Chains A and B, each alone.
Chain A
Amino acid sequence: MIDELQKRSELRRKAILTERQQQKQIQESNKNPEENAELFTKNFSKQTKLIEEAVSKKETFLNSTLKLKTDYLNNIDSEIKKLITLLSESTLFIPRYDQQTSQRKIESFIEIHQNLRSELIPKKRFKFKSRKKISTNSQKKVKQTEKEKEITNQNGKTNQIKKNNSTHNAENTENSISFKNLANEEKILNREQCLDRDIFLSNLKNCKLIIPVLLSSLKIDRIYDSVICVGPVKGSIHLESCENCVLFLASQQIRIHNANNCKFYLYASSSPIIETSSKVGFSPYTFSYPNLQNDLLKCNFDKSSNQWDNVKDFNWLRSSKSPNWYIIEENEREQKILEK
Chain B
Amino acid sequence: MVLLTILRKIKQKEKEMRLLMLGLDNAGKTTIVKRFKGDDINKISPTLGFNIDTVQYDEYQLVFWDVGGQQTLRSYWRNYYEETDGLVWVVDSSDTRRLKDCKKELDKLLFEEKLAGASLLILANKQDLESSLSLEEISEILELDKIKKRHWKIVACSAVTGDGLLDGIEWVVSDIANRIYSEN
Q: Is the Cβ of B26 less than 8 Å from the Cβ of A198? A: no
Q: Which residues of A contact B48 (CB under 8 A)?
A: 273, 312, 314, 317
Shortest Cβ distance from residue B86 to the other chain A in the assembled complex, whole angstroms: 25
Q: Which residues of A contact B160 (CB under 8 A)?
A: 235
Interface of B is mostly: loop
Number of interface residues of B (CB under 8 A): 21
What 1/0 mask marks residues of chain A from 268 to 299 whose CB sits below 8 Å from any chain B CB? 01110101100000000000000000000000
Q: Is the Cβ of A252 less than 8 Å from the Cβ of B95? A: no
What 1/0 mask marks residues of chain A from 215 to 245 whose CB sits below 8 Å from any chain B CB? 0110101000000000000011010000000
B13 within 8 A of A: no
Given contacts A175-B130, A219-B97, whether A276 and B71 have CB atoms under 8 Å apart is yes
Q: Which residue of B lies closest to A270 (CB)?
A: B45
Q: Which residues of B contact A271 (CB under 8 A)?
A: 45-46
Q: Is the Cβ of B70 less than 8 Å from the Cβ of A273? A: yes
B residues 108-134 touching A (CB-CB < 8 Å): 126, 129-132
A residues 145-200 touching B (CB-CB < 8 Å): 175-176, 197-198, 200
A303 to B130, CA, bound (A): 28
Shortest Cβ distance from residue B120 to the other chain A in the assembled complex, whole angstroms: 25
Q: Which residues of B contact A255 (CB under 8 A)?
A: 25-26, 46, 70
Q: Which residues of A contact B43 (CB under 8 A)?
A: 252, 269-270
B94 within 8 A of A: yes
A115 within 8 A of B: no
Q: Is the Cβ of B71 less than 8 Å from the Cβ of A216? A: no
Q: Which residues of A contact B182 (CB under 8 A)?
A: none
A residues 243-268 touching B (CB-CB < 8 Å): 252-253, 255, 257
Given contacts A221-B97, A252-B43, A312-B45, whether A216 and B72 have CB atoms under 8 Å apart is no
Q: Which residue of B lies closest to A199 (CB)?
A: B131
Q: Which residue of B lies closest to A315 (CB)?
A: B72
Q: Which residue of A lies closest to B69 (CB)?
A: A255
A216 to B128, CA, bound (A): 10
A300 within 8 A of B: yes
Shortest Cβ distance from residue B92 to the other chain A in the assembled complex, whole angstroms: 8
B73 within 8 A of A: yes
Of the candidates A198, A202, A307, the one having the most CB atoms from chain B within 10 angstroms of its own CB is A198
Given contacts A217-B129, A238-B26, A255-B26, whether A314 and B44 have CB atoms under 8 Å apart is no
Q: Which residues of A contact B45 (CB under 8 A)?
A: 253, 270-271, 273, 307, 312
Q: Which residues of A contact B70 (CB under 8 A)?
A: 255, 257, 273, 275, 314
- Name the one of A217, A314, A315 contacting B94, with C-beta atoms under 8 angstroms: A217
Given contacts A269-B43, A314-B73, whether A216 and B95 have CB atoms under 8 Å apart is no
Shortest Cβ distance from residue A20 to the other chain B in the assembled complex, whole angstroms: 28
Q: Which residues of A contact B94 (CB under 8 A)?
A: 176, 198, 217, 219
Q: Is the Cβ of B130 less than 8 Å from the Cβ of A176? A: yes
Q: Which residues of A contact B26 (CB under 8 A)?
A: 236, 238, 253, 255
Q: Is the Cβ of B42 less than 8 Å from the Cβ of A216? A: no
What 1/0 mask marks residues of chain B from 51 to 88 whose CB sits below 8 Å from any chain A CB? 00000000000000000001111000000000000000
Shortest Cβ distance from residue A152 to the other chain B in the assembled complex, whole angstroms: 13
A103 to B125, CA, bound (A): 41
Q: Is the Cβ of A252 less than 8 Å from the Cβ of B44? A: yes
Q: Apart from A253-B46, A270-B45, A315-B72, list 12 A-B contacts with CB within 8 A.
A: A217-B94, A217-B129, A217-B131, A252-B42, A252-B43, A253-B26, A255-B46, A273-B46, A275-B70, A312-B46, A314-B48, A314-B71
Report the 6 A-B pairs with minimum CB-CB distance, sorted nearest first: A176-B131, A270-B45, A198-B131, A175-B131, A273-B46, A314-B72
Between-chain CB contacts (< 8 Å), 15 pairs: A175-B130, A176-B94, A176-B131, A198-B129, A198-B131, A200-B97, A217-B131, A219-B97, A235-B126, A255-B70, A257-B71, A273-B48, A300-B42, A312-B46, A314-B73
